[in-house]
Structure 1
Amino acid sequence: MLVDSPEFKLWTQWLYMAALPYFFAAMALEGWAIRRKGPQAWFKGYEWRDSLCSMAMGALKLLAIAIAALWTLPIMLWLYNNRVVDLPVSSWWFVPLVVLADDFCYYWYHRCAHRCGAFWAEHSNHHTSEHYNLSTALRQSVLGPFYTFVFWLPLPWLGMDPLAVTFAHTINLLYQYWIHTETFEVHGWFERVFNCPQHHRLHHAKNTEYHDCNYGGILIVWDRWFGTYKGFLPGVKPVYGTVTPVPSTNPLKQAVAGWGHLLHKVRTTRGVKNRLLCFVKPPGWLPD
């Protein structure tokens, strides 16, 4: 049985095609804003090797998605064909519901990606840049598509078309692009509900004061509800990068560095139990 609404595939393709000019136009605008602020600006701006690495990793992520779809899509289709709920795909509320459900799953994936060694190994490359700008948003997890899809498996089982889930996830990723900047902030009611640049830059900071916070994708309310929200602390400027740096602008090295660190940790840890715990404990965990 095929999914009910193949037009979701066309909508997703359209979003990806529209994304390219959106990405580069936004980076050009951000670069202009950085130059306009001049040398007195407190943020770093762009470094061309770092930005090219990030953009290359974005392209590798697309390739990884295409390869991983060979088994992720059949699994999701099987769950959808055995769904426990029939949702009216043509209803006006169906797409907003899927976008909301996708964002909820993203929050828990993202939180786990920072608190579980096996998921931090694939997600950490998104945080390795010591710069915070729109090109950093393209520094995507290359290995993630091969196994992080497990967080979204409940959605097709609950009657959400897998192509609709893909469409919603694309909206989620495109939304998060614009929040990777230091050049402006958004305040008022919007920042209380939605993820904004001032929230996400703290998420990217490696300062101990900002560890493990602001995991939301589109909505910041998940963090407010589940106790992971943090705001800017006066005098504590965000410092970007990872506690274990990856001093390379080679996108392939960046893509596998997290798993390299994890496997090295496993090899140098004594005891089978402790070695297994390396995969499920937080990345900073060490045996007593």
Structure 2
Amino acid sequence: MNQLSQFQLATQLLYAVAIPYFFAAMWLEYRVIKRLQGQKPDIQGPIDIVQGYELKDSLCSIAMGALKLVTTGIALIWSLPLMAWLFQHRVFDLGLSSWWFLPLLIIGDDFCYYWYHRVAHRCALFWAEHSNHHTSEHYNLSTALRQSVLGPFYSFVFWLPLAWLGFDPVTLAFAHSVNLLYQYWIHSEVFEVHGWFEKIFNCPQHHRLHHAKNEEYHDCNYGGIFIVWDRWFGTYRDFKPGVAPVYGTLTPVLSTNPLKQGVMGWVHLLQKVGKAQGLVNKLKCLWLPPGWTPQQMS
């Protein structure tokens, strides 16, 4: 078995292990939450009130995770040939057997993820596909499965430079799977990780602030695996004593239908573009932050 085949097999194993891991972890978290509920809230810590699970909300998130797999498969029809073409015209020949290849691959993938994620919150065109990950007003492990349904169709552009630099698309698929699997466990209110680990890696106490819609926590903590990107690029925020995270989006989607959840970000954006007057304002609706509104609409 050659090295590329090993990466391909490892990716398949990750998905095979992920499904039982997801459901076992959700069951365990649910049991922990049931024990925590009813305890007196402590607003001096980042865990104010553990909201727990709501059945329809969680089922919607799980269904959206399944839909993401479908749309990812469809998007491979054009994303994979483009990445393969860039890889054929790569700048470097990176040795798969080198000791530094795997760490560089994971770091490079997460660096691209950071910039995708940051742009997805600051550019309406990408917020339209990413926003459905934030629509739940609950924060638990099932929320991690509320994936962007439309994102695979165009968000892959942020990873194209890696193929051009010399990372085979097969290895990029592996790294992306590792990144997504890592991010699952940080969608939890019931525990935190401190010490040296939280200085380098993304932890639940970081990511729950990212999901908060409070003004104090807007647009922060974009890292996937590593929180160091946020510390370096000025987007890191820590918990403010007395300010508990409030989850959801400023424009709520009041439905637990996974199809509606998956497309409503684009529906809202197209409605906004349709109401804007003039080509310039319509283009600004697409490229400026999602909260921007032309004067004619204000």
Say yes or no: TM over 0.5.
yes
The reply on whether 1:265 has 2:264 as its aligned counterpart is no
The secondary structure found in structure 1 opposite 2:182 is helix
Q: 2:271 is aligned with what amino acid?
A: H
The reply on whether 1:37 has 2:10 as its aligned counterpart is no
Q: What is the number of residues matched between the two proteins? A: 286
The secondary structure found in structure 2 opposite 1:39 is coil
Alignment partner, residue 153 of structure 1? 160
In structure 2, what is the Cα distance between the partners aligned to 1:200 and 1:47?
20
CA 4–77 in structure 1, closer or farther in 2 if over 3 Å, else same: farther
The secondary structure found in structure 2 opposite 1:5 is helix
How many Å apart are 1:6 and its aligned residue? 2.8
Match of 1:189 among 193, 196, 203: 196
Q: Judge which range, 121-130 or 33-42, deviates more.
A: 33-42
Contact 1:4 1:161 in 2 (8 A): no
How many Å apart are 1:268 and its aligned residue? 1.0
Alignment partner, residue 13 of structure 1? 12
The reply on whether 1:221 has 2:228 as its aligned counterpart is yes
Alignment partner, residue 90 of structure 1? 97
Alignment partner, residue 180 of structure 1? 187
Cα shift readout 1:228-282 (whole Å, capped 9, x = no counterpart): 0000001111000000000000000000000000001011111110001111000
Contact 1:192 1:221 in 2 (8 A): yes
In structure 2, what is the Cα distance between the partners aligned to 1:153 and 1:201?
29
Alignment partner, residue 283 of structure 1? 290
How many Å apart are 1:201 and its aligned residue? 0.3
Alignment partner, residue 64 of structure 1? 71
In structure 2, what is the Cα distance between the partners aligned to 1:166 and 1:225?
26
In structure 2, what is the Cα distance between the partners aligned to 1:15 and 1:65?
16
Alignment partner, residue 46 of structure 2? none
Cα shift readout 1:60-99 (whole Å, capped 9, x = no counterpart): 0000111100111111001111101001011122111111
Cα shift readout 1:191-213 (whole Å, capped 9, x = no counterpart): 01000000000000000110000
Q: 1:75 is aligned with what amino acid?
A: L
Q: How does 1:122-161 map to 2 (within 5 A)?
A: 122-161=129-168
Contact 2:36 2:50 in 1 (8 A): no
In structure 2, what is the Cα distance between the partners aligned to 1:11 and 1:5?
10
Alignment partner, residue 25 of structure 1? 24
In structure 2, what is the Cα distance between the partners aligned to 1:8 and 1:57?
26
In structure 2, what is the Cα distance between the partners aligned to 1:92 and 1:151?
25
How many Å apart are 1:4 and its aligned residue? 6.9
How many Å apart are 1:38 and its aligned residue? 2.9
In structure 1, what is the Cα distance between the partners aligned to 2:265 and 2:19?
27
Q: 1:164 is aligned with what amino acid?
A: T
Q: Judge which range, 81-90 or 45-54, deviates more.
A: 81-90
Alignment partner, residue 207 of structure 1? 214
Alignment partner, residue 107 of structure 1? 114
Contact 2:179 2:225 in 1 (8 A): yes
Contact 2:37 2:50 in 1 (8 A): no
In structure 1, what is the Cα distance between the partners aligned to 2:94 and 2:177?
21
Contact 1:179 1:196 in 2 (8 A): yes
In structure 1, what is the Cα distance between the partners aligned to 2:6 and 2:264?
38
In structure 2, what is the Cα distance between the partners aligned to 1:287 and 1:4?
53
Structure 1 segments unaligned to the other structure (5+ residues)? none
The secondary structure found in structure 2 opposite 1:236 is coil
The reply on whether 1:247 has 2:254 as its aligned counterpart is yes
In structure 2, what is the Cα distance between the partners aligned to 1:162 and 1:90?
16
Match of 2:127 among 105, 116, 120: 120
Q: 1:240 is aligned with what amino acid?
A: Y
Q: 1:14 is aligned with what amino acid?
A: L
Percent identity for Structure 1 against Structure 2: 70
In structure 1, what is the Cα distance between the partners aligned to 2:214 and 2:50?
16
Alignment partner, residue 51 of structure 1? 58
**What do you get for the CA RMSD once the two structures are aligned?**
1.0
How many Å apart are 1:7 and its aligned residue? 2.3
Structure 2 segments unaligned to the other structure (5+ residues)? 42-48
In structure 1, what is the Cα distance between the partners aligned to 2:18 and 2:265?
27
